[in-house]
Structure 1
Amino acid sequence: MRRSEFLRAVQDEFHGRAPSLLSDLVLSALSGRTAAEALDAGVPPKQIWLALCAEMDVPESRRHGVGRLEPRKR
C-alpha cells in the first residue's frame, strides 16, 4: 500500500472524520503515535491502515485491497 492509497482508503472509509482520526487518534499498536506521526516516522502505510482499522472496528471485508484506483480503460 502506497501513502496515496492509504490516504484514499482513510477518506473512503471514514469520510469527514478522516482528518481528525489521522491527527488526533492515538494508536497503541503504533507505539502510542497517531497515524500522521507514524507516517512521518516512516511506518509502512499498510501497517498504519491495519492498526487504524483494528482500533475503529472496521470489518475485515473492508480492510484489504482498498485505496487503489480503478485501472485506466484502454
Structure 2
Amino acid sequence: MRRSEFERAVRDEFGTYGSSLISDLVLTRAGGLTADQALNAGYSPRDVWLALCEEMDVPGERRYGVGRLEPKR
C-alpha cells in the first residue's frame, strides 16, 4: 500500500472525519502515535491503515483493498 492508497482508504472509509482521525487518534499498534506521526516516523502505510482499522473497529471485510485505484481499462 502506498501513501496515496492509504489516504484514499481513509477518505473512502471515514469520509471527512478521516483527516481528524489521522491527526488526533492515538494508535495502540503504532506505539501510541497518531497515524500522521507513525507515517512520518517510517511506519508502512499498510501497517498504519490496519492499526487505524483496529482502533476504529472497522470490519475485516473492509480492511483490505480499500483505497486501491480502479483498474485501467
Same fold (TM over 0.5): yes
Give unmatched runs, 5+ long, in structure 1: none
Q: What is the correspondence of 1:1-74 to structure 2 with a 5 Å cutoff?
A: 1-73=1-73
TM-score by length of 2: 0.97
Question: CA offset at residue 16 of structure 1?
Answer: 1.3
Q: Bigger radius of gyration, 1 or 2?
A: 1
Q: How many pairs are equivalent?
A: 73
- For residue 55 of structure 1, what is the amino acid of its counterpart? E
Question: CA offset at residue 71 of structure 1?
Answer: 1.3
The sequence identity of aligned pairs, in percent, is: 63
CA distance in 1, matches of 2:16, 2:65: 21
Shift >2 Å, 4+ stretches: none
